[in-house]
Amino acid sequence: MGIMAFMKLIDTAAGKLGIWELTDSSEKLAENFSFSETEKKEFGQLKNEKRKKEYLAVRLLLENMMHTKAEIEYDRNGKPHIKGSSLHISISHSPELAVILLSEKKAGVDAENIYRNTESIATRFLSGKEIENTQNTSNPALSRIMYWSAKEAAIKYSGMAEIELKSDLFVYFFHPEPEGGKFSGGICKDGPVTNLTFHYFFYEKNVIVTCIEDKK
């Protein structure tokens, strides 16, 4: 039985982006996936249906993007790598999507449902200035989600094991635009500041944010 999920591939400033809609069951996805012994063991340890769907969707999407079987490995900090490839990979999930960013350079991606409520946890991931900045936009709730997503993408870019969303990462003021766009921020942990450029667009009920270093 074939897979009914919708897949989309997009060329972005950060690299090639793949989107897989999580509409099929893990059982149906598994019917269309060729497991290696390692993958079979990893998948067998998953008990939650959501995690099973994400695991399979990401790997099916990666195969479509690379046009061949490709395995994902993780380093000690939890950063994913493609076995036997020099390409950088970043992975994200939302309740509706599995997303992969493939790039020749370090990059990060995050996908978030734009209706997720982050108001009660804003002080955990936003500085006082960032809270003020989000409140000075036409849609503070959406701005908070985008700041969260940008910082998650920055963590994936960095590959650091321990990094604080509130104190080690920053996002400069911007107004979210319906047609998408870009904004700036950075990492200020363990040495000189790393300046980052974030690009974003909206897909269904989600915002997808990519992150690369700004070397200007």
> Would the pTM count as exceeding 0.85?
yes
Query: 30, 23, 176, 17: which is closest to 90 by C-alpha?
Result: 17
Show me where the domains of the chain are located. Answer: 7-106, 110-213
Which fold would CATH assign to domain 7-106?
Ribosomal Protein L22; Chain A (3.90.470)
Q: Which residues, at least 6 apart from 150, have a Cβ–Cβ distance to it below 8 Å? A: 110, 171, 183, 185, 198, 200, 209, 211
pLDDT in tens, the chain (216 residues): 456 568 899 999 999 999 999 999 999 999 999 999 999 999 999 999 999 999 999 999 999 999 999 999 999 999 999 999 999 999 999 999 999 999 999 999 999 999 999 999 999 999 999 999 999 999 999 999 999 999 999 999 999 988 999 999 999 999 999 999 999 999 999 889 999 999 999 999 999 999 999 976
Domain 110-213, what fold? Ribosomal Protein L22; Chain A (3.90.470)
